[in-house]
Structure 1
Amino acid sequence: MEDQVNRLVEKTWAKFQSIPSSERFLIAVSGIPGSGKTTLASTVTKRLNALYSGLHGKTSTPPIAGFVPMDGYHLTRAQLSAMPDPKHAHDRRGAEFTFDGDAFVALVRRVREPLTPESQTLYAPSFDHAVKDPVQDDIPIEPTTRILVFEGNYLSLDKEPWRTAAELMDELWFVDVDFETARKRLVPRHVKAGIAPTEEEADKRVRENDLVNGEEIVNKRLEVHEVIVSTDDEGWKPEAQ
């Protein structure tokens, strides 16, 4: 996995050199729940910033790369409760229909606008796991942030509005993992996060929700630029994302 990460950082940096200073370079990292996509996306972002700082010989340089997880585009619990079948909506939270894809596309369109001296900081939502709802305008995207790494389950899904978002990206990466490995990662994560009180109930949720979502993610995947095989290397341990 470490070799794959290094190659992706080098590839991204090389491609970034060729774009005009008024543009951003956008990457979407997708994969099933438990694939390790969050760790990949955040690690690539950190290493791009370290590379940029190293080239400039100082650590005070504004970060060139930013990381935007899709978690902030979860529909709120109140929105789920307002659906025709609230119980089903809450039980299936994490499925494609429980995200505000249109709002995500709107953000991507905004960061695609040309950068000028007048460009303002943009904001993306985050997700507060303590209250289990999004937090609006919590992730700043500065005008100096010219590489953006987005991460989420559905960023290469061949279905609107995700298809539109994918078309706005420069690179689509997919983190591939077998379903049993994903299940083993997700069960303890759900217990730790308070999503399920016991491993037995966590396993039930994983099988009836997360891996069901995973089937859609895999079966309806767009063509991508990179497929990264998720492994638990000693030097690079993916989080259960």
Structure 2
Amino acid sequence: MEEQVDRLVNKVWDKYQDVPASKRLLVAVSGIPGSGKTTLAAIVSNRLNEKHAQQSPGTANSNPVSAFIPMDGFHLSRTQLDAMPDPDSAHARRGAAFTFDGESFLSLVKQLRDPICPESATLYAPSFDHAIKDPVKNDIAISPSVRIVIFEGNYCSLNKEPWNRAAKLMDELWFVDVDFEVARKRLVHRHVKAGIAKDEQEAGKRADENDLVNGKEIVDSRLDVHELIKSEEDVDWAPEKQGFDDEKH
């Protein structure tokens, strides 16, 4: 896995060298729940900033070149789920495509595609607070100095509106491919650890009835991508080993 990451970081860095100063390079990393896409996207973004720091010492810490934007911030709030025709089902299926604000995600991608000029303002993306289980608006700053944006999320390469329109605006689409049984084991562990489920049986039920149902749609309706990355069992690649939390939904 480490070799794949090095290759992907170098690929993005090399492409960035040819991007005009008025534009950004946009990369979207997708995959089913439990694929490891969050860990991959975060590490790629961090390593790009490390490369930038090596080449521009003294300015890189205050002006990182890369920003990491998880799609979790575009979850509909619990209040919005309550207002749906079938709120019980909406809450049970939280994480499905219809429980995200895809139009807001598309709007941000479009803004990031606008030319960068001297009067360009800092843009903001939402984050997700797992303590309150709701998104936090305008929590991730994307300054004009950010020239590479790494998105990650289940639906970044979904061939359905409005996700496919956002996908067309990306310079690179990556998909992290994982065996469903491997993903299920990761999800069961994650749900119990995060307190989403009280035990492995409840966690398995959630994985089978929600996460992997979404996963089938993600795989069956996937757009063509630039990179298909195989996710395998690798102890050194566990999120906690890399300094990141597990993906949580």
Q: Normalised by the size of structure 2, how large is the TM-score?
A: 0.94
Match of 1:90? 91
Match of 1:33? 33
SS in structure 2 at match of 1:197: coil
SS in structure 1 at match of 2:114: coil
**Structure 1: which 5+ residue stretches go unaligned?**
none
Deviation at 1:235, TM superposition (A): 3.5
Match of 1:81? 82
Residue by residue, what CA displacement relative to the aligned partner does 1:168-199 show, whole Å, maximum 9, x if unpaired?
Answer: 10000000000000010011211222221221
Give me the whole-angstrom Cα distance separating, in 2, the residues matched to 1:218 and 1:56: 40
Give me the whole-angstrom Cα distance separating, in 2, the residues matched to 1:235 and 1:157: 30
SS in structure 2 at match of 1:221: coil
Give me the whole-angstrom Cα distance separating, in 2, the residues matched to 1:81 and 1:233: 39
Match of 2:55? 55
Give me the whole-angstrom Cα distance separating, in 1, the residues matched to 2:227 and 2:189: 29
Match of 1:152? 153
SS in structure 2 at match of 1:11: helix
Give me the whole-angstrom Cα distance separating, in 2, the residues matched to 1:136 and 1:223: 31
The answer on whether the counterparts of 1:172 and 1:225 sit within 8 Å (CA) in structure 2 is yes
Which residue identity lines up with residue 56 of structure 1 in the other structure? S
SS in structure 2 at match of 1:105: helix
Match of 1:6? 6
Which residue identity lines up with residue 221 of structure 1 in the other structure? R
Match of 1:172? 173
| Identity level (%) | 63
Give me the whole-angstrom Cα distance separating, in 1, the residues matched to 2:85 and 2:61: 51
Which residue identity lines up with residue 11 of structure 1 in the other structure? K
**Bigger CA drift: 48-57 or 146-155?**
48-57
Aligned runs of 1:179-194 on 2, under 5 Å?
179-194=180-195
Match of 1:128? 129
Q: Which runs of 4+ in 1 moved over 4 A?
A: none
Match of 2:117? 116
Give me the whole-angstrom Cα distance separating, in 1, the residues matched to 2:208 and 2:174: 25
The answer on whether the counterparts of 1:2 and 1:235 sit within 8 Å (CA) in structure 2 is no
1:217 aligns with 2:218: yes
The answer on whether the counterparts of 1:2 and 1:233 sit within 8 Å (CA) in structure 2 is no
Which residue identity lines up with residue 30 of structure 1 in the other structure? S
SS in structure 2 at match of 1:135: strand
Which residue identity lines up with residue 126 of structure 1 in the other structure? S
Q: Normalised by the size of structure 1, how large is the TM-score?
A: 0.97
Deviation at 1:62, TM superposition (A): 1.2
Give me the whole-angstrom Cα distance separating, in 1, the residues matched to 2:24 and 2:225: 19
Deviation at 1:127, TM superposition (A): 0.4
Give me the whole-angstrom Cα distance separating, in 1, the residues matched to 2:177 and 2:203: 22
**Structure 2: which 5+ residue stretches go unaligned?**
240-244
Give me the whole-angstrom Cα distance separating, in 2, the residues matched to 1:187 and 1:237: 15
How many equivalent pairs are there? 241
